[in-house]
Amino acid sequence: MAFENGKTTIFAPISGVIVPITDVPDPTFAQKMLGDGIAIDPIEETLYSPCDGKIIQIHSSKHALTIATPEGEEILIHIGIDTVGLKGEGFKTFVSEGDDVKRHDQLIVFDADLIAKKAASLLTLVIITTQDASVNLLSSGLAVSGETPLMDVEKTDQPETVSLCGQLNVSEPIVILNPDGLHARPSAVLASNAKRFQSTIKLCLQDKEVNAKSVVAIMGLSIKKYDSVIISAEGPDSAQAVEALATLVQSGLGENLHVIPGQRKDTASEPAPSKPAPSDDPNVMVGVSASPGLVTGVIYQLEEVTVDLPKEGFGLAKEQQDLEAAITKAQEELDQIENSLRLSADTSKAAIFAAHKELLTDPELKESAFAGLKQGQSAAWAWRASYQSQAEILSKLENPLLAARATDIRDIGERVLSQLIGFEKRSTAIPSKAILVASDLTPSDTANLSKGEVLGFCLTGGSATSHASILARAAGLPAVVAVSQSALKIPNGTLAILDGDQGFLKINPAPSEVTEVQTKQIQASEMRQKELEAASQPAMTIDGFKIKVCGNISGLAEASEIPGLGGEGVGLLRSEFLFLDRTEAPTESEQTASYEGIAKHLGPNRDLIVRTLDVGGDKPLAYMPLPEEINPFLGIRGIRLNMLGTEIFSAQVRSILKVANLTNLGLMFPMISPLFRSSKRPGTSSTEKKRPWA
């Protein structure tokens, strides 16, 4: 709101000791991210209006409200620190949004004892959230509600700032509990959901704020675990945006916040292993193991191709049209790649390219490129400058997970560039049985490597948590990263041993060393062949009892292996592979296609038992935020969540039943507990027991 008539005096809304806002034990308030003001350590339990005005917002947890004065000031009054988690417990409001109030009208009554036990502090904040205002503090010491003047607020001649952190629709401070902070995947989830709202949305960390619709910008904040952030929004749906996104961030943005010590984690989230000590042998280059395996082959340097780009364009309209068309084509390519990977149940790969799709629509990348177009640059020149600049920012971050995403930025950047000018960034004539050496590989590079031709790779850059390393592990390609730059000077054709288990590359090995590696490979191959031959034999005990052997799988890729491995069906299909690592639920037709593919691989004579969606609690979905539970592993999840009436569950059951004629189908519903009743009931014998599920 704008100011109209000079200054306004704000009186104490509660009695207590006045505390400078800079002394409040919360950086969001102490650093005045929401605005200037003052705090009061209360000695009573009733909050009164500090001036005449209108109630324009009451937080759903009833611990905070905002008053607008007739002159246009907006005053946020916030009872306690971290009281949003009480969800209204201990608070009772006496006004509603839209009510007109007078100074000293009763607003909220609260239970000080309860709040003192469950919240971080009882300090009550009085903050001027209007941006074009100066605050003059008037009092110190003891304040009396309705009587002690706290501050005068006056209009300033300063232009309105671009920061939105002081606007009306601002979230409570949110503590990030994601184990690795907001790295690429949670950042993509947040940006994707933010794009669903029309409002301008900002994510604020201390004195920094960025566009919450930009994955690149969010990652650039390098938000770590236990950092405190706030979300602000300005626009027609700002209130809904703040509420929805704050809930999403608190739920973990699709990541599990309840990791038990010793619990298996996604390899993408694990820290990079430490680099071994250098070798005294000049032929041995020590690095970090990124993917296990032992191979011997010849070195091939995978060199990048540089191209000269025209700096000057042919007019803004044409260059913008060309860039938009190239981005659209690149998006279509990524759609095809992701859909193909999801249908084959390569969820780790699919999630990587889904993140690439999100990066491709990043507003920071496009806006930076469009700025170059307005200066007369060609689409190719402006686009390359944009993605290289963003990649450089990420590569310098201390968080290795975020720094590794610089390669993803370059990957999607080069994908669009290839559409613009038709260039290939790598030479393609890779010899057979080659060990690739390069400074780095993008996910697209790695996904396109043929395991039959390429034996493995060695990088001077990269990390064990990079997407290239994840894809190498999925493909069974040995890989070593972070070796010496001298590896780039090894001549092509040099004989070498790549040890992905120990993390080193050895060139010019002795014939005996090569023979030893080859012997190990032959032994492993022979053992594998014997196992496959035995797999087709019936599984019988020595006393003649037959055992049905089925596999537990997570998608089509594993289902296709079951017949060849002697499997008699699928004992459990974990259907979560269709729902995880994405920002929206799969469609019914998408699910049906996946189940059909699996059923056809198994055939009509094998079992297929599908477990319906088992998420919630410790396995959250980004598009289905749930409240935190004390014991999420045994809480509202699986069938308990589905029976709340979600359309997601209904669509899944329909899609599963459509393949009933293709295989021996069964359904398993997770998280159903038996209800045990007394074994002795009237009219029954003492030995008769009711069935536990009755």
pLDDT band at 418 (very low <50, low <70, confident <90, very high): confident
pLDDT at 498 over 90: yes
Q: How far is CA 415 from CA 324, 409, 411, in A?
A: 13, 10, 6
- Beta partners for residue 143, in sequence order: 16
pLDDT at 458: 94
Note every long-range contact of 455-459, with CB atoms under 8 Å and residues 24 or more positions apart, other chains counting: 455/295, 455/296, 455/297, 455/498, 456/291, 456/293, 456/295, 456/297, 456/480, 456/498, 456/500, 457/302, 457/498, 458/285, 458/287, 458/483, 458/487, 458/498, 458/505, 459/287, 459/290, 459/483
Query: Whole-angstrom Cα distance, residue 476 to residue 456?
Result: 9
Higher-scoring residue by pLDDT: 249, 168: 249
Beta bridge partners of residue 456, listed in sequence order: 435
**Whether residue 263 has pLDDT greater than 60:** no
Of the pLDDT bands very low, low, confident and very high (cuts 50, 70, 90), residue 230 is very high
pTM flag (> 0.85)? no
For residues 216 and 219, give the distance between their C-alpha atoms in angstroms, rounded to a whole number. 5
pLDDT band at 299 (very low <50, low <70, confident <90, very high): very high
Which pLDDT does position 689 carry in this prediction? Answer: 39
Confidence of residue 313 (pLDDT cuts 50, 70, 90): confident
Say what percent of the chain tops pLDDT 70.
83
User: Which of 94, 254, 267 is CA-nearest to residue 584?
Assistant: 254
User: What residues contact 647, with CB distance under 8 A and at least 6 apart?
Assistant: none
Nearest to 312 by CA among 368, 388, 379: 379
Mean pLDDT of the residues in the chain: 81
Map tokens 């930025």 to a residue.
Answer: 409
Q: Three-class SS of residue 528? A: helix
Query: Quick one: pLDDT at residue 442?
Result: 83
Name the amino acid, one letter, at 599.
Answer: A
Nearest to 272 by CA among 126, 463, 90, 86: 463
Structure confidence at residue 586 as a pLDDT band (50, 70, 90): confident
Distance CA 578, CA 345 (A): 8
> What does the pLDDT read at residue 34?
66
Which of the four pLDDT bands, split at 50, 70 and 90, describes residue 535?
A: confident
Using DSSP, state whether 429 is helix, strand or coil. coil
512 φ, ψ to 5°?
-65, -35
Predicted pLDDT at 3: 39
The answer on pLDDT for 231 being more than 90 is yes
φ/ψ bin of 436: left (φ > 0), alpha (ψ from -120 to 50), beta (otherwise): beta
* Contact partners, residue 596, CB within 8 Å, separation at least 6: 658, 659, 662
What's the CA gap between 528 and 391, in Å, rounded? 43
Q: Rounded to 5 degrees, what are φ and ψ at 498?
A: -110, 120
Average pLDDT over residues 124-134: 79
Mean pLDDT of 323-343: 83
Arithmetic mean of pLDDT, 310-325: 89
Specify the pLDDT at position 508: 92
The CA distance from 113 to 277, in Å, is 57
**Residue whose C-alpha is closest to residue 403's, from 463, 470, 359:** 463
- Between helix 184-194 and helix 238-251 the angle, nearest 10°, is 160
Cα within 13 Å of Cα(143), Cβ side: 32
Is the pLDDT confidence value at 35 over 60? yes
Separation of alpha carbons 505 and 507, rounded Å? 7
Report the pLDDT value the prediction gives residue 73, as an integer from 0 to 100.
81
Angular region, 59: left φ>0, alpha ψ -120 to 50, beta rest: beta
pLDDT > 60? residue 193: yes
Q: Are 70 and 100 in contact (CB under 8 A)?
A: no
pLDDT at 90 over 70: yes
Say yes or no to pLDDT of 686 above 50. Answer: no
User: What's the token pair of residue 670?
Assistant: 């997770």
Residue 418: C-alpha distances to residues 226, 313, 423, 509 (Å): 40, 17, 5, 39
Kindly state the average pLDDT of the residues 469-481: 85
Contacts with 496 (C-beta within 8 Å, 6 or more apart), sequence order: 296, 297, 298, 299, 435, 490, 505, 506, 507, 508, 509
Q: Which of 275, 604, 265, 318 is nearest to 460 (CA)?
A: 275
What are the structure tokens assigned to 341, written together? 């990977």
Report the pLDDT averaged over residues 225-254: 88
Least confident of 210-214, 237-241, 291-295, 528-532: 528-532
DSSP string, 281-331: STTEEE-EEEE--EEEEEEEE-PBPP-----B-S-HHHHHHHHHHHHHHHH
Average pLDDT (529-556) is: 85
Residue 456 pLDDT greater than 70, yes or no: yes
Q: What confidence score (pLDDT) does residue 431 get?
A: 79
pLDDT at 401 over 90: no
Averaged pLDDT, 190-196 = 85
Distance, CA of 287 to CA of 484 (rounded, Å) = 8
Ranked by mean pLDDT, the top range of 129-138, 279-288, 491-500 is 491-500
pLDDT in tens, 372-388: 888 899 998 999 898 88
State the pairing for strand pair 46-48/106-110.
Answer: antiparallel
pLDDT at position 609 is 94
Show the beta-strand stretches assigned E in 521-626.
551-553, 569-574, 607-611
Residue 2: predicted pLDDT: 37
For the segment 643-664, the average pLDDT, to the nearest whole number, is 86
Q: How confident is the model at residue 538 (pLDDT cuts 50, 70, 90)?
A: confident
- Does residue 157 have a pLDDT over 80? no
Let me know: does 297 contact 509? Beta carbons within 8 Å.
Answer: no
Residue 166 binned pLDDT confidence (cut-offs 50, 70, 90) = very low
Distance CA 62, CA 478 (A): 57
User: Do the bridges between strand 228-234 and strand 169-170 make them parallel or antiparallel, or are there none, so unpaired?
Assistant: antiparallel
Q: Please compute the mean of the pLDDT values over residues 303-328 and round it to a whole number.
A: 85
Residue 159 has pLDDT above 50, yes or no: no
pLDDT at 270: 40
- Other beta carbons less than 10 A from residue 576's beta carbon: 19
C-alpha torsion 491→493→498→504, nearest 10 = -10
What pLDDT is attached to residue 478? 92
Average pLDDT over residues 282-291: 89
pLDDT 10s digits, 354-369: 778 878 878 888 888 8
**C-alpha torsion sign, points 82, 148, 142, 155:** positive
Predicted local distance difference test score (pLDDT) of residue 625: 66
Unique residue bearing structure tokens 């038990």: 260
Highest mean pLDDT among 52-56, 138-142, 562-566, 669-673: 52-56
**Ordered structural domains, the chain, with CATH:** 8-161 (2.70.70.10), 174-251 (3.30.1340.10), 284-303+429-512 (3.50.30.10), 316-421 (1.10.274.10), 551-668 (3.20.20.60)
